[in-house]
Amino acid sequence: MVERSAVVSGRGYCRPHYRDDRKDLGVIEFQAVTKRFDDGTVAVDELDLTVDPGRITVFVGPSGCGKTTSLRMINRMIDLTSGSILVDGKDVRQSDPPLLRRGIGYVIQQAGLFPHRTVLDNIATVPVLAGWGRAKARKRAEELLETVGLPAAMGRRYPAQLSGGQQQRVGVARALAVDPPVLLMDEPFSAVDPVVREGLQDELLRLQGELGKTIVFVTHDIDEAIKLGDKVAVFRTGGILAQYDTPAELLARPADDFVTNFVGRDRGYRALGFLTAGGLSLGELAPVKVGATVAEARQALRDGWAVVVDERNHPCGWLSADRLSSVDESATVDADLLLAGGSLYDTEHGSLRSALDAALSSPSALGVAVDGQGVLAGSITADEVLRALAAARTAGEVPQ
């Protein structure tokens, strides 16, 4: 497998940085797969699709579109009606379901942890089923607890003592226990609150960078699909595949009205997330240190604004001329005087989208740029972002 092509190389989102030494294990092929339930409803209709090994493929669509059914047919939690599904060339129907499932990681909504087993024993489930012996299975479980970023002490707890986000991490660890090449994830993050969900998504991408699994991920949330997917399969009601493409292509060239509607109104804006912001030129900022006097701060104002940094040069917020005018000269600059800053633009990983957002969300209309370590790097304006976008278009880097 090669890296993504140059067109979309700028991973605006924090994409996994794949190693090149991945083995190409875990190719999943759907060949004319149809699922018709007993009541006659067709959940999946003649699905042809190949899931790339070592990548994240997201199945997304409205409810009743057959995305979950498609996922569950891979490990035979649901048996298909006609067609075939091959995992690494082998028809899944040739395998005994329990044995097949032990070789495929499975993560579901609300984690589905076993309430009567400790966290460690939950993770050790599949190794024990596979006959590893308890001691070896436990040792593996301890490793995995660390892999998913949970403290070792948590291994002795029971699932009911964990938060939703922690439970979901344990669910992922359980799925990884015997290091299966394929991971099936069925709306794993939809039951946790948005902040935790974002953390789990980032964590999944970080893990995937290390592990390079073939992940099939089901969600109804197009933003989640675009954030996580190397490829996204959009399903429409009735189990029909509407489009199967990279997120950037999906946003730039939706196949039809259904996909256009589904990816949403602000897709042009979201597409900026796939463009690197490497070519942006930053303006200079003269920062004021926390603890400086108000007199010094007044000197630093430009167009009525100054950015304030802490002792490590990390930005803390903005000072305005208005705000300073009502304060005594000898006072020091502290948190009470600051106006909250907007989002920060990370010059190493950020996309055009995050640069634009930094500019738009800043009270001074100047976006604050930081380097990879969070140290103040300069300012960015919305005009500059649009100029860079225009340059990218003429250079043919943006799909028209």
Partner 1 sequence: MNLLTSWLFDPTNWSGTGGIPQRLVEHLWYTALALAIAIVIGFPLGALVGHTKRGGFVLVGAANVLRALPTVGVLTLVVLLAGIGLVPPIAALTLLAIPPIMAGAYAGIQAVEPVVVDAARGVGMTEREVLFQVEIPNAMPLIFGGVRSAALQVVATATIAAYVGLGGLGRYVFDGLALHDYPQMAGGAILVAVLAVLVELVLTGVQRLVVSPGLRPVRTSGGTQR
Backbone angles phi, psi at 394, to 5 degrees: -65, -30
d(CA 133, CA 213): 25
d(CA 268, CA 386): 13
**Binding residue for partner 1, selected from 84, 109, 147, 320, defined by CB under 8 A:** 109
C-beta closer to partner 1: residue 42 or 191: 191
Interface with partner 1 includes 161 (CB under 8 A)?
yes
CB of 376 to partner 1, least distance (A): 36
CB of 42 to partner 1, least distance (A): 23
CB of 216 to partner 1, least distance (A): 13
Interface with partner 1 includes 321 (CB under 8 A)?
no
CB of 189 to partner 1, least distance (A): 14
C-beta closer to partner 1: residue 77 or 339: 77
Structure tokens at 20: 């090149």
**Binding residue for partner 1, selected from 175, 216, 309, 370, defined by CB under 8 A:** 175
Amino acid at 382: A
**Binding residue for partner 1, selected from 160, 195, 335, 395, defined by CB under 8 A:** 160
**Binding residue for partner 1, selected from 138, 140, 169, 174, defined by CB under 8 A:** 174
**Binding residue for partner 1, selected from 37, 79, 90, 98, defined by CB under 8 A:** 98
Interface with partner 1 includes 77 (CB under 8 A)?
yes
Interface with partner 1 includes 159 (CB under 8 A)?
yes
- 3-state SS of the chain? CCCCCHHHCCCCCCCCCCCCCCCCCCCEEEEEEEEECCCCCEEEEEEEEEECCCCEEEEECCCCCCHHHHHHHHCCCCCCCEEEEEECCEEHHHCCHHHHHHCEEEEECCCCCCCCCCHHHHHCHHHHHCCCCHHHHHHHHHHHHHHCCCCHHHHHCCHHHCCHHHHHHHHHHHHHCCCCCEEEEECCCCCCCHHHHHHHHHHHHHHHHHHCCEEEEEECCHHHHHHHCCEEEEEECCCEEEEEECHHHHHHCCCCHHHHHHHCCCHHHHHHHHCECCCCCCECCCCEECCCEHHHHHHHCECCEEEEECCCCCEEEEEEHHHHHCCCCCCECCHHHCECCCCEEECCCCEHHHHHHHHHHCCCCCEEEECCCCCEEEEECHHHHHHHHHHHHHCCCCCC
Interface with partner 1 includes 166 (CB under 8 A)?
yes
C-beta closer to partner 1: residue 159 or 315: 159
**Binding residue for partner 1, selected from 17, 41, 82, 99, defined by CB under 8 A:** 99
C-beta closer to partner 1: residue 45 or 203: 203
Interface with partner 1 includes 78 (CB under 8 A)?
no
Q: Hunting for tokens 């599949």 — which residue is that? A: 126
d(CA 383, CA 361): 14
**Binding residue for partner 1, selected from 129, 290, 321, 331, defined by CB under 8 A:** 129
Interface with partner 1 includes 194 (CB under 8 A)?
no
C-beta closer to partner 1: residue 100 or 301: 100
Interface with partner 1 includes 134 (CB under 8 A)?
no
CB of 287 to partner 1, least distance (A): 39
Number of residues that bind partner 1 (CB under 8 A): 38
Interface with partner 1 includes 117 (CB under 8 A)?
yes
**Binding residue for partner 1, selected from 18, 30, 106, 345, defined by CB under 8 A:** 106
**Binding residue for partner 1, selected from 75, 246, 354, 381, defined by CB under 8 A:** 75
Interface with partner 1 includes 102 (CB under 8 A)?
yes
**Residues in touch with partner 1 (CB under 8 A):** 75, 77, 97-103, 106, 108-118, 125-126, 129, 157-164, 166, 171, 174-175, 184, 191
